[in-house]
Structures are given as C-alpha cells and as structure tokens.
Structure 1
Amino acid sequence: MPVNPLLNRRRFLAISGSAALAGALAACGTSAPSGTSSTSTGSAGPAGDGEKFGTADKPVTVSFWTWGTPDPALVPAYKKLHPYVDLQVTAVGSTADLYPKLATVYKAGTGAPDCTALELPMMPTYAAAGYLEDMTPYGASVDAYDASAARASQFGGKLYAVPTDYGPMVMYYRTDVFDKFGLTVPTTWDEYRQTAEALKKAAPDAFISNLDPGDSTEALGLIWQAGGRPFQLDGTNLAVDLADEGTTKYATYWSGMLRDGLVNPVPGFTADWFNQMGSGTYATWFAGAWGSSVLAQSLTQNNGLWRAAAIPNWEAGTAVNAAMGGSGTAVSSTSPNKAAAVAFAQWYGTDWPLANVGKAGGATFPASLTVQKDPAYLNAPSEILGGQLAAQLYVQLSGDVAEGWQFLPYQLYANNLYKDTAGQQVASGFDLAAGLSQWQEQIVSYGRQQGFTVNGS
C-alpha cells in the first residue's frame, strides 16, 4: 500500500526529512532569539481594510505555502469574499519537502511566501531564527481558539501562528481484537500492560501497539503526559533535562514493555505497518485527534472496527493528556503584505473550516472554538469509528492537555537526531533512559553552538 503523502505531515521530520533536512536546517542557522526579528521589514500599525483586502486601485497579493493537496475551492472562496486579494496557494509536497524549502528561502532572504502552514511544534524553530512575524499588532488573536492550541501558537510571549487544527492524544483501538480475546479498554497504564500481557498470551503474534524508533513526536507526547517537562526556555537560557521525573517514568515503563515483547519496535506509516494495522496485529494506536482521518483514508477495510478513547493515565480517576501535532498559519517577517497575510490566516483558521465542516466530516480536530461548538462538527458520526461521535471526545481530550510544555527552539533539528540516539534504544537494547541521555548530549551541544546558554553554560 503506497503511503499517502498527506499522512507524512503526521510523522514529522524525524522520520522523513533525513539528509536534505539536516543540510537545510544547518543553513537556516537557528540561533538564540534576540528579542526582535532580524529580518522584519517595517513596523506594524493599525491595518485598514485596504491593507488587509486591497482595493480596486491597489490590489494585494498573498502567497501561501502548504503541504498535501489544497482544496481547489479555497482560492475561489477567498476571492469571492475579497476580490482585490490575489491568493496564490502553492502545495509543496509533504512537510519533508516544505521545511527544507522554507529554510532555504528564509536563509537567502528572498523568495519566501507571505504566509505558510507550519506544524505547531516546529514553529519555534522559525520564530527563534527571526523568520516569522508577531501577528498580534496586525489584529490577530487566539482568544477564540482551543486553549492548548493557542498556547502552542505562541513563542516568547508573541503570537507567531494562527492555529488551524490540533492533535490532543487519542488511543485508537480495534473493537474486534478486544472482543475476540475478552479484553477491557484500559484506563490506566497498569491496566494497559495487563491488557498487553493478556493479548500476548492469547495471540503470540499480536502486539498491544508498536513503538516507532524514528518518531520523537510519539515519545515526546508520552513524556508530556507522564509529567515530563524536558525543555524549558527563558530568553536565551535553555534547560534540557531528559531525565526528569516524568521522562524517567516514561523511559522505565516503555523499556519494560519493549523488553517483554509487548510492543513492536517498528516504524509507523510504512506499507508493512499499514498492513499490520489493517490485519489486527496491533490492538491499539496512539496518535493525535487527526488519527481517525488516517484510518479513514488508508484502512477502509476496517470501517466500523476502530474506536477512540482517552489514553491511559498514570493514576486511576485522573484525566491528564498531551498532544501530538497540530498546525497553524504563520506570516513571514519578510512579507511586504503582512496585514493581508494575517487577515487570510485568521479566515483560514475559523471561517474556512466552519464553511466546510459538513463536507470535511470532522476529519481533523479544528482549533477554532466556533467550529468545535458547531453541531455539524460535534454530531458528525465517524464511519471508521463505527458511528462514534468522536468529535465530542476530542473536545474533552483537548481540554485535558496539561500546561507547561515547551518545544525546543530548534525542534526540527532535534527531531532529526532522535532516530540515531534515543531511537536506537527503542529499536534494540531497550534502555530508553540511556538513549534519551544520548539524545540530550546532542541537543545540548547543538544549542550551545547556536548561542543558547544550555544548562547553565
């Protein structure tokens, strides 16, 4: 089964960027933030409608880069509302294609789009380098957006993206596998291990899940939910601790699951993985709330067999969640049409998904509270999930996302290091603490090279 390029956005660059990404990020030159944008052109002020939407005498152009296959109705819809805006949408393959291209044009200082789609965990990489514009002075606000997505759209106290969708973590599970072996949906991590043991005893070739040795996103989501806060940035002072209490809890638990053969240490989003997902080799899968769209697009033979649930918690009766992914629209600091680009980003984050909520069928989890509260979204049954009203669950799970998490100001680069450090212990060895220590060494070294004061020196 060929992998849908759209799905690569969910694997992030640690999986698919590799050499091209590493070279582009080195060229990008992420460095400690100075407090002002080094490439910003002009200063913001109150923007009038002419600046935002153009006029007959002075039309405005807004270029927008994104991944996947944009809806062909997007440009005509915006043109109908704002006839003097020439919206130019460029699809740049997957995120593995988009991010190196952005790094190249930003470093060159020419050729950058007015605005671009970014995964929210990757936004700080570009903001720290001075390539993005603070959107607040141009009228942008995230007051009407999901609180966790709104937090993820800010860096250093400034707003650098308008969120479009978000990825509160979800446990997807196969009802037929659970029913066949008399398993109960686990609500705690102790129960999850017990379920894994029962499944392995009844079906030796089955696994409770896989754990991807190349995907730092899943690892960081599980660390976040366990209470880990390994990255904390204050100005140019960066603390990195991949051995804090929550991270150690994650490492100990999953090292044991790997050593006992309860999870399969293989990459996700490969042809083999999709085949195993479809055949019931894996009873559960952890993903963001976008996961149902992956299942619906790629595993139509499983329609009705999957369900969504909260991921297990460390203590019974608690509801602590984390996030995997999420996207937003950011404005380039070199854009000559910042007000128009911000206006488009605001529309794209709320009005566009609201207009398409029926057609989209709630395929991704919208960041806009207006869309989240719309009955057409909330009450849309999911075919792949057996008619479950998953949107209602997703809203709840997003509200459970714990605060205090930060991504690195060079997360893109760090993700690319994961598979050759921490990921090696996922694939074999099964000492995740040792692997995370190796990852930390390289994260700290790179941060110091970029001018950050890391762990006090």
Structure 2
Amino acid sequence: MVEQIVEVEAEAVAPIVFWSTENQPERAERTKGIIEGFTAETGIPVELVLVDENNIDSIMAANFAAGTLPDVAFFPLDFAAGWYAEGILDASAASSVVEALDATTFSEGSLALVDTPDGPTAVPSDGWGQFIVYRTDLFEELGLEPPTDFESIRTAAEALEEAGFIGIMSGTDPGQVFTQQTFEHFALANGVSLTDADGNVTLNTPEMVEVLDYYSKLMAEVGPKDTATFWDQSRALYFAGDVGMTVWSPFILDEMAGLRDSVLPSCDECADDPAFIAKNSAFVPAFSGPSGSEAQYGQVSYLGITTGANTEAAQTFVEYWLSDGYLDWLGVAAEGKFPMRRGTTENSTEYIDGWGNLEVGVDRRAPLSDFYSEEVLENIIQGANNIDRWGFTEGQGQLVSAIYSELVIPQAIADIIDGFLTPEDAAVQIQEQVEEIQAALATEE
C-alpha cells in the first residue's frame, strides 16, 4: 500500500508514521535529517513513508479501510476536503496545533481554504503562487507595459509575435491538469466562481464565456497555436529564448538561474551566462480581467493529523516541523515552498526572512537572492500568501478534486481551439458536466 519506506533509527519507542509526497531522493534525504533532529529532541521515533502525489489518495483510502492510517501526512490542498469528509483527518487535533503555534502567525488564506465548523482540517505548511514570467529585456525593447491585466497581456503577446517570438505559453493539452491550473488563473481573474455560496454551479455565465473566448484566442493566435502544450514545452521554449511570456510555478526559479543541469536555459545568450534568463525576467503573480479583479492561482500543502494517529505525539511532531524544523523543511525545495507560517509571536517575519536566504538548486546551490532582487522575491512571497482557488472556501473541495480528475475544462478548451465548440457552447457543456459530477458525488454521501 505504500511505495517506499525510509527507516530512521531511534530508541525502542512506538514510532509515529509520517507520509510525505516529497519523494525525490535529495528531498527525502533532507527530510530524514529533520526527522533525526526531532527524534533527538523528543525521543519520539518516526517512520518516513514516501508516497507519490498522484497515488496518495488511493493509497490513503486503502489504508483507511485497513485501519492502518499514518499519524501525519504531508499533502496538497486538493485532498483536504475529501479526506475530512471521509473521516480521515482530525480537525480538532489540527486546530490545537494552530492555536499552540498562534493562528495569527499563519497566512489567513491558507487557513480559510481548509476551514470547517470544527476548525481547519489540517495545518498549513507551505505553498506557491502561479505567475506570468516575462522577459523584461524584450518588454523594454518593445516599449511594453508589464502584463498585469487581460488587455496588457494580449497587447504584449501581439507585439512579441510581430517581433518574431511566441507571445505567451500556457496550457492547451486536454489531458493535462496544467491546462486546468493555468486557465483557472485567468478565470479567477475574470471573476468566475465554481459555485455560489449555496453550492449551485456557476460556470455558464457571461464572465465564463468571456474568459473562454479570451483564453482560447490568446493560445490559438499569439500562443502555442496547438492543443498539445503543457508545462514542459512552456518552460523549454521560454528557456530557449523563443517566448516572451509563460505561465508557470515558482519551481522554475532555480532552473532559470542555471542551477539544474537537466533543464538548463538554452538561449543564445545563456551559453556565456547561464543565469541570463533569470536576470532578464520579472513576474506578475496576480492579474485581472475586464469582469474581475486581481487574482492568483496557487497551491498550498498541509500537514494533516489523521483520526488513526497517536494524537499527542503527532501534534508534537507537527509543532516541531513548523518551528524548530521549519526553515530546514522549507529548504527541501525553497523555490516552491513559501512559508504559510510567516513567523512567530515574537518575530512575525522570522520564516519569511529566513526563506529568502535559503539555497536552491540541484546540481549547484545558491540563495534565490543571488539572482533575484528583494523586490521580486517580496512580490512572489506576497502572492503566495494571497492565492485563490475555485470552490475550496465554499466547501466544494470534493467537487474540485473530481473536476480536476475528469479534466472537463481542459477538454473544452481544446475543443474551442480546434473549432469544435464555441465559447458559448463550451460554457453550457461545462456547466452540465460539472452539475452531473456534483450530483454523482451527492449520491455517494
């Protein structure tokens, strides 16, 4: 039922079991080091289980049925609502940890995304906010304004195309979650919500038709011009210097700086300066559409205490992880782990300040501050603390998970680009399909 177990030696005390989706070898080694520090301080041994994020939901369900839940799990927001509804997560235990650490030290948004009448279903750990990355040298050369709204994004993309570049790269592949993630950013910016406060699906609206039309034309006319683009091409073509803008996550930051050999920037200028792309890029975390206000898509990961846990030991573990072990944990992959706990009661920015000095990279390591200005990093951090997502604050986490699994919207976007659907017809189809998914979920309760 589990994929890999890493033994951490300790005294003969019943261990707690910690599941982590940080399963890359170098990240697992750093995680082991934090565990060893925890065990040395508390005497509580820990069994680390590495689980692939794509399989954690089914593995958790199997272990729940078998009565073998882990004590603590590190997982993305997408699973929080479903696991709580199924009785896997202990909101009371999580609430106690948040109170012990001081709720005011956490990002308000990260707590709101998992709020229930019983308190938060899990404790916010870290997150990232998606952004538009753009070439500042090209924007300056062409006299372009930063891409902060639909109009300036389109204007810039057209000018870049005329100058011989691809205007913007974003998701178009109907089989990739990346398309959902990138489109949802645009939809949020145009004021589109998954449901209203009463749980009614609200995707066949003028705002949704508007953003479907805008996004599909942007991709077809000044973007990838295909229905096969996802994160890989979006990054590769930006690194090659062929693209003026791309939509990506902060996990691109260390790669842009030339710190990972397997995905080195390959632009003409990069041969002499591997960090050329990093030095000539800026970021727009939140942007707006004509019918909405500034919004940013992102992801938050949590530490959840299960209903099968040794609760006291699990709470001690999570409190340690988000205090004494926190900067080491953020350092496991600092480029994509922005602190959802900003600081302590005594020092409200301790972890944000510490994060800025953490080293990133795979084959070479250096702090992000070596490549990006304080203003750029502060902009990224603030964005990560103000992310939004469809459905979670309305209690529709299970519906969100199902939509992501079914890829309803990516398929509709591809059909618009390929000429099989109009934006109006696509909005009707999406509304009907999501309502069917919602009804099916209701019959399972």
Q: Quick check: 1:377–1:391 contact (8 Å CA) kept in 2?
A: no
Q: TM-score, normalised by structure 1?
A: 0.73
> Match for residue 224 of structure 1?
188
> Match for residue 74 of structure 1?
34
Secondary structure of the residue aligned to 1:73 is helix
> Match for residue 314 of structure 1?
289
Alignment of 1:294-309 (within 5 A): 295=256, 297=260, 299-301=263-265, 303-305=275-277, 306-309=281-284
**Offset at residue 154 of structure 1 (A):** 2.4
**Offset at residue 248 of structure 1 (A):** 3.4
> Match for residue 210 of structure 1?
170
Name the CA distance, whole Å, in 2 between partners of 1:103 and 1:387.
Answer: 44
Alignment of 1:446-457 (within 5 A): 446-451=437-442
Q: Which shifted more, 352-361 or 211-220? A: 352-361
Name the CA distance, whole Å, in 2 between partners of 1:167 and 1:325.
Answer: 5
**Offset at residue 186 of structure 1 (A):** 2.3
Name the CA distance, whole Å, in 2 between partners of 1:411 and 1:320.
Answer: 21
Name the CA distance, whole Å, in 1 between partners of 2:297 and 2:356.
Answer: 20
Alignment of 1:124-273 (within 5 A): 124-136=81-93, 139-141=96-98, 142-155=103-116, 158-179=119-140, 181-203=142-164, 206-213=166-173, 214-215=176-177, 216-232=180-196, 238-264=199-225, 265-270=227-232, 272-273=233-234
For 1:152-173, what per-residue CA distance to the aligned partner results, in whole angstroms no more than 9, with x for missing partners? 2324653111111122332222
Q: Does 1:324 align with 2:298?
A: yes
Give the counterpart of 2:314 among 329, 341, 349: 341
Name the CA distance, whole Å, in 2 between partners of 1:185 and 1:168.
Answer: 18
Give the counterpart of 1:369 among 336, 339, 342: 342
Structure 1 unaligned spans of 5+: 1-55
Change (3 A) 1:245 1:309: same
**Offset at residue 134 of structure 1 (A):** 1.1
Secondary structure of the residue aligned to 1:96 is coil
Secondary structure of the residue aligned to 2:319 is helix
Q: Quick check: 1:120–1:328 contact (8 Å CA) kept in 2?
A: yes
> Match for residue 49 of structure 1?
none
> Match for residue 397 of structure 1?
383
Q: Quick check: 2:17–2:49 contact (8 Å CA) kept in 1?
A: no
Name the CA distance, whole Å, in 2 between partners of 1:132 and 1:285.
Answer: 37
**Offset at residue 76 of structure 1 (A):** 0.7
Change (3 A) 1:377 1:310: same
Name the CA distance, whole Å, in 2 between partners of 1:332 and 1:136.
Answer: 8
Secondary structure of the residue aligned to 2:55 is helix
> Match for residue 424 of structure 1?
414
Q: Match for 2:21: what amino acid?
A: T
| % identity of equivalent residues | 15
Secondary structure of the residue aligned to 1:80 is helix
**Offset at residue 426 of structure 1 (A):** 5.6
Name the CA distance, whole Å, in 2 between partners of 1:421 and 1:428.
Answer: 11
Q: Quick check: 1:290–1:365 contact (8 Å CA) kept in 2?
A: no
**Offset at residue 77 of structure 1 (A):** 1.6
For 1:350-395, what per-residue CA distance to the aligned partner results, in whole angstroms no more than 9, with x for missing partners? 4423346678655521111118823333467626854455331123
Q: TM-score, normalised by structure 2?
A: 0.75
Greater share of residues in helix: 2
Give the superposed CA RMSD.
3.5
Q: Quick check: 1:166–1:289 contact (8 Å CA) kept in 2?
A: no
> Match for residue 52 of structure 1?
none
Q: Does 1:412 align with 2:376?
A: no
For 1:119-139, what per-residue CA distance to the aligned partner results, in whole angstroms no more than 9, with x for missing partners? 113321222222222145761
Name the CA distance, whole Å, in 2 between partners of 1:325 and 1:359.
Answer: 17
**Offset at residue 176 of structure 1 (A):** 4.2
> Match for residue 22 of structure 1?
none
> Match for residue 354 of structure 1?
327
Change (3 A) 1:416 1:131: same
Change (3 A) 1:92 1:385: same
Structure 2 unaligned spans of 5+: 1-10, 266-273, 359-366
Give the counterpart of 1:434 among 416, 425, 443: 425
**Offset at residue 251 of structure 1 (A):** 1.7
Name the CA distance, whole Å, in 1 between partners of 2:440 and 2:33.
Answer: 45
Name the CA distance, whole Å, in 2 between partners of 1:384 and 1:448.
Answer: 51
Name the CA distance, whole Å, in 1 between partners of 2:54 and 2:289.
Answer: 34
> Match for residue 51 of structure 2?
92
Give the counterpart of 1:112 among 60, 66, 69: 69
**Offset at residue 181 of structure 1 (A):** 4.4
Name the CA distance, whole Å, in 2 between partners of 1:346 and 1:102.
Answer: 23
**Offset at residue 284 of structure 1 (A):** 1.8
Q: Quick check: 2:16–2:46 contact (8 Å CA) kept in 1?
A: yes
Q: Which shifted more, 114-123 or 60-69? A: 60-69
For 1:247-286, what per-residue CA distance to the aligned partner results, in whole angstroms no more than 9, with x for missing partners? 333223213323434454433233x444323112332222
Q: Which shifted more, 403-412 or 143-152? A: 403-412
Secondary structure of the residue aligned to 1:67 is coil
> Match for residue 253 of structure 2?
292
Q: Quick check: 2:190–2:290 contact (8 Å CA) kept in 1?
A: no
**Offset at residue 311 of structure 1 (A):** 3.6
